Chain A
Amino acid sequence: MTTATTPVRTAAKPSAPAVTARKHRPGRRKRLELALLLGPALLLFTGFVLVPIGIAAFYSLFNWKGFGPLDDFVGFKNYADAFGGTVFQSAIVHNLIIAGLSIAVQLPLSIGLALLLNRKLRGRAVLRALVFAPYVLSEAITAVIWALMLQPNGFADRTLRGAGLGGLVHNWLADPGIVLYTMFAVITWKYIGFGIILLLAGLQGVPAELREAAALDGASAWQTTRHVVLPLLGPTIRIWIFLSVIGSLQLFDVVWIMTQGGPANASTTMATYLIDHGFKRYEFGFGSAVAVILFVICFVFALLYQRFALRRDTQGALTRMVG
């Protein structure tokens, strides 16, 4: 047997250096693999994400109408104008209100419905599908449908009157005091299904033994939910909040189609303000400044949130650095 193994050993020799190389210099081959596999994606990402951001940042320093050469350098004036303008200030506030309302209203609603839909009840599959259906529609379709339903004497008003709630009828899209909350309601209708699906998936990850153990210890259903299920849903909830806040900050389609930010800028968001000035007024330099501001706000939030809130959840999930 020894004679038989010897040739094998010699045959294995040529490959041995590679093995030792990997052992002793673990970086090189891995780097090659990374470059090969990651390279194209990285190239695309640089070309279509990083470079445009850089270009926008560059444009934002000019007073530029979108035509002709960039020759009117104004430094940070566009940024000062944006932050100094009452319309943009209120746009930021509107984004923050939507983000705050999402967490205060959508989250409890999603959790409640998810817990309900997680139970064994008749027609559960149908209910789940129904709740998720709005998410499947595009934002444009959602906005058009709701704009039609919310017009004066439209479906919404007639339904309210029919139910004897005529006192609740409002100028949903025309009253500056209400329009932002109308937007929020439409957005909630559209996205609640997604939140529920996410939470349902999270609930699947709650081990049945834990609930059983809690029940054996004499915990009530509420106590089990409060002290066993919800803490285990933590990672899902934190991800939901992250996506929700980023989404709220970038809110655009629904508002643009339903109100164009009106009336009297009462539903203007940072993104509608950006498009309004960039494309409707040909203020491309100024629009770029607004885009950069919006990007920085989202980016800073994403970084801080990952650093402080998501840290626990992502620990161990990330691959260790090369080298």
Chain B
Amino acid sequence: MFVKRRITVLAALAAVVPLALAACSGGSDTPAQPSGPVTLTWWHNGTTDPIKSIWEKVVADYHQAHGDVTIKAQPLQNEDFSTKVPLALQSAEPPDIYQSWGAGDLASQLTSGKVADITDFTKSWITQTTGKFGENWQVDGKQYGVPFEQHFVGFWYRKDLFQQAGITTPPKTMDELNTAVTQLKAKGIAAISVGGKDRWPDAFYFNYFAVRECSVDVLKKSVKAVKLEDPCWTKAGQDLKNFLATEPFQTGFAGTPAQQGAGSSAGLVANGKAAMELQGDWEPGTMSSLTEDKDLDSKVGWFAFPSVTGGQGDPNAVLGGGDGFACTTRASKACADFLQYLGSEPVQTQLAAQGAGLPVNTVAAKSLKTDTLRQVYDYGTKAPYLQMYFDRAFPTAVGAALNDAVANMFAGQGTPEGIVTAVNQAAAGNK
């Protein structure tokens, strides 16, 4: 190791200064809504196409229709949101609209006093536009944000590799999945790829085992109390442990990134180097940018996470989440109006038609790009229960502790009880 500028520590320390300065300017009163022309700053994560162009068009169209509203869009890298939003919410001038994934994160951000309660501005249209899904952007019954896309997690698989291994129908139970894994491995094919370096893909497995093992009632109560007490949680950990013991994943999975490069977990499936991956509906979009194969869509199929024998959970419950935007207090009325536009048919249809994601507005579903995506959409929207990914559903620190504990188990360390303890300890404020 050599000369790493001394600045690193200092920079880390300096990073907190703006927070201190801003702390003085705090105050949680809702300022009067600005009258006359208004300019809204919009932080979104659409840095790449197709969503980048869609948002550019949305800004232009909206300005055309509402001459007094100017939207200044500022695309940020997805990963930057976790650092920039807290700092911005402590500053005197946070963005007026910013990307929000709802639930736990949003609840954490509320304590800044800068996030606007938009219940009154949205109640006339939100149910019609987003269905029950919009409730994930509520905290204590008040609306703090509006989703524009929903996401469902399931297995994406390559039909050609399944055929090579002699698997005729996609697995419906864990036993069938295990058999499929054995058949694929016997043919020398990496059965499942997972981006273990990023941790959250590991967590999908624990999340889904929990959704299958725990009843909807237990899931709801545990998330609300941020406490894992029911034995079904430990059972989910045990299921995961048993599954890991079958060694279903590609070599070196603990160091593989999820979405970057041809060697990432998505890249392996895209290039036919692995047969399946448990991922969200964004998978086809991610894969298409990691391969030369123009025919990819026809080679890829989807099946839901299998049922677990003896599980208390609903075998059709789905794991997922969504993308949305939250408003800050300066111009929350104008912000809410803009969010209504994002949920409207023209925008939602574009999102669906260009493969940017699954729309929240049902009228746009028919525009979805492929049959596979329509299948995912149908499964997710018909599911009796949607469990939001736990790292989003829980407060941020607890979610991160869960992901870490699961990732440790993937790396060969940790126990089912350890995952439960890690979550409960983090919830109690222990490090």
Interface residues of A (CB under 8 A from B): 48-49, 51-53, 55-56, 59, 63, 65-70, 78, 81-82, 85, 98-99, 101-102, 106, 139, 147-148, 150-154, 171-176, 179, 184, 187-188, 190-192, 194-195, 240, 243-244, 246-248, 250-253, 259-260, 262-266, 271, 274-284, 286, 288, 291-292, 294-295, 298
- Specify which chain A residues have a CB less than 8 angstroms from the CB of B251 in the assembled complex: 152-153, 171, 174
Q: Does B26 contact A (CB under 8 A)?
A: yes
Q: Is the CB of A265 within 8 A of B431?
A: no
- Specify which chain B residues have a CB less than 8 angstroms from the CB of A195 in the assembled complex: 2
Task: Pick the 10 closest A-B CB pairs, nearest first.
Answer: A173-B255, A191-B2, A174-B255, A264-B411, A263-B411, A263-B254, A248-B1, A152-B252, A174-B254, A247-B4
Q: With A184-B1, A288-B16 known to touch, is A252 a contact of B396 (CB < 8 Å)?
A: no
What class of interface size applies to chain B in its complex with A?
35 or more
A193 to chain B, nearest CB (A): 9
User: Could you write out 13 A-B pairs with CB less than 8 Å apart?
Assistant: A52-B10, A55-B17, A78-B431, A81-B430, A106-B2, A150-B255, A175-B252, A176-B411, A243-B2, A259-B255, A281-B396, A288-B13, A292-B13
| Minimal Cβ-Cβ distance residue in B for A297 | B9
CB within 8 A of A282: which of B16, B86, B408? B86
Q: Is the CB of B263 within 8 A of A66?
A: no
| Minimal Cβ-Cβ distance residue in B for A264 | B411
- Specify which chain B residues have a CB less than 8 angstroms from the CB of A295 in the assembled complex: 9-10, 13
| Minimal Cβ-Cβ distance residue in A for B267 | A151
Q: Is the CB of A247 within 8 A of B2?
A: yes
B428 to chain A, nearest CB (A): 12
B323 to chain A, nearest CB (A): 19
Q: Is the CB of B111 within 8 A of A68?
A: yes
- Specify which chain A residues have a CB less than 8 angstroms from the CB of B14 in the assembled complex: 48-49, 52
B415 to chain A, nearest CB (A): 13
9 additional contacts (CB under 8 A) given A151-B256, A263-B410, A275-B12: A59-B20, A67-B86, A98-B1, A174-B252, A188-B1, A250-B8, A266-B411, A276-B400, A283-B397
CB interface residues, B 183-218, toward A, < 8 Å: 196-199
Q: Is the CB of A291 within 8 A of B9?
A: yes
Q: Does B23 contact A (CB under 8 A)?
A: yes
B245 to chain A, nearest CB (A): 17
| Minimal Cβ-Cβ distance residue in B for A177 | B412
Complex CA distance for A151 and B111, rounded to whole angstroms? 42
Q: Is the CB of A151 within 8 A of B252?
A: yes
A-B contact count (CB 8 A): 204
Q: Is the CB of B431 within 8 A of A85?
A: yes
Q: Is the CB of B197 within 8 A of A283?
A: no
Complex CA distance for A140 and B408, rounded to whole angstroms? 25
A6 to chain B, nearest CB (A): 60
Q: Is the CB of A260 within 8 A of B252?
A: no
- Specify which chain A residues have a CB less than 8 angstroms from the CB of B10 in the assembled complex: 48-49, 52-53, 295
Q: Per-residue CB proximity of B373-410 to A under 8 Å, as 1/0? A: 00000000000000000000000110011001001101
Instruction: From A248, A291, A295, name the one whose CB has the most chain B CB atoms within 10 angstroms.
Output: A291
Q: Is the CB of A56 within 8 A of B13?
A: yes
| Minimal Cβ-Cβ distance residue in A for B112 | A67
Q: With A277-B431, A282-B108 known to touch, is A68 a contact of B113 (CB < 8 Å)?
A: yes
B261 to chain A, nearest CB (A): 6
Q: Per-residue CB proximity of B80-123 to A under 8 Å, as 1/0? A: 00110011011000000000000000001111110000000000
Q: Does B177 contact A (CB under 8 A)?
A: no
Complex CA distance for A116 and B83, rounded to whole angstroms? 47
Complex CA distance for A195 and B396, rounded to whole angstroms? 42
CB within 8 A of B2: which of A154, A187, A262? A187
- Specify which chain B residues have a CB less than 8 angstroms from the CB of A244 in the assembled complex: 1-3
| Minimal Cβ-Cβ distance residue in A for B114 | A67
Q: Is the CB of A174 within 8 A of B111?
A: no
CB interface residues, B 241-295, toward A, < 8 Å: 250-257, 261, 263
Complex CA distance for A218 and B109, rounded to whole angstroms? 76
CB within 8 A of B431: which of A106, A154, A172, A283? A283
Q: Is the CB of A99 within 8 A of B198?
A: no
- Specify which chain A residues have a CB less than 8 angstroms from the CB of B401 in the assembled complex: 281
Q: Does B124 contact A (CB under 8 A)?
A: no
- Specify which chain A residues have a CB less than 8 angstroms from the CB of B168 in the assembled complex: none
Complex CA distance for A70 and B253, rounded to whole angstroms? 41
Q: Per-residue CB proximity of B1-40 to A under 8 Å, as 1/0? A: 1111010111011101101100100100000000000000
